[in-house]
């Protein structure tokens, strides 16, 4: 009888260890996911900074020539905005209350940066169009 009790105890301890191991693995996966989201947010923030730099140079430079005569920059901005819309759709589908606080913060941070970068790209696109119309 005593041997059966010890076996049950060992099995219960093994089950606890398996659950702890599974929990730790899931935390690691969520941490890696959050770090990946942070890297994407950093890249988007960098793009936003470059866009704002281009906007300020365009405004301060008093340019009397066409900035984007072949429309390649505007096409690139349109593509960036489409990509950001895709990111935001994916984020909306991934947010659930069961996620860790770290992952929720990463989602919120990326969403905020994506919105800011989208606005920067939209403004630059609009300002280029306005500049080109003035020159025409």
What tokens were used for 129?
Answer: 């169009």
Is the pLDDT score of 23 beyond 60? yes
Which tens digit of pLDDT belongs to each residue from 32-58? Answer: 888 888 999 999 999 999 999 988 888
Q: How far are the Cα atoms of 56, 77, 122, 124 from residue 74, in angstroms, in the given order?
A: 17, 5, 9, 9
Q: Tally Cβ neighbours within 10 Å of residue 40.
A: 15
Residue from 95, 108, 50 nearest 77 by CA: 50
pTM of the complete model: 0.75
Which value, to the nearest 10 degrees, does the dihedral of the CA atoms of residues 107, 109, 115, 119 take?
A: -160
Spatial distance between the Cα atoms of 42 and 35, rounded to a whole number of angstroms: 10
Which tens digit of pLDDT belongs to each residue from 48-84? Answer: 999 999 888 888 876 677 777 788 888 999 999 999 9
95: left (phi over 0), alpha (psi -120 to 50) or beta: beta
Summarize the confidence of residues 106-115 as an average pLDDT.
Answer: 91
pLDDT at 65: 74
Is the pLDDT score of 109 beyond 90? yes
Per-residue DSSP letter, 98: T
């Amino acid at each position: 009888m005593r041997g059966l009790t010890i076996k049950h105890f060992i099995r219960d301890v093994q089950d606890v260890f398996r659950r702890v191991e599974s929990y730790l693995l899931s935390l690691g996966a969520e941490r890696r996911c959050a770090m990946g989201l942070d890297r994407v947010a950093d890249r988007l923030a960098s793009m936003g900074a470059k866009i704002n730099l281009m906007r300020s140079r365009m405004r301060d430079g008093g340019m009397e020539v066409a900035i984007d005569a072949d429309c390649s920059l505007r096409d690139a901005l349109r593509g960036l905005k489409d990509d950001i819309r895709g990111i935001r759709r994916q984020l909306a589908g991934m947010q659930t209350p069961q996620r860790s606080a770290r992952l929720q913060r990463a989602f919120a941070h990326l969403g905020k940066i994506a919105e800011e970068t989208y606005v920067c790209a939209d403004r630059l696109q609009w300002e280029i169009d306005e500049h080109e119309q003035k020159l025409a």
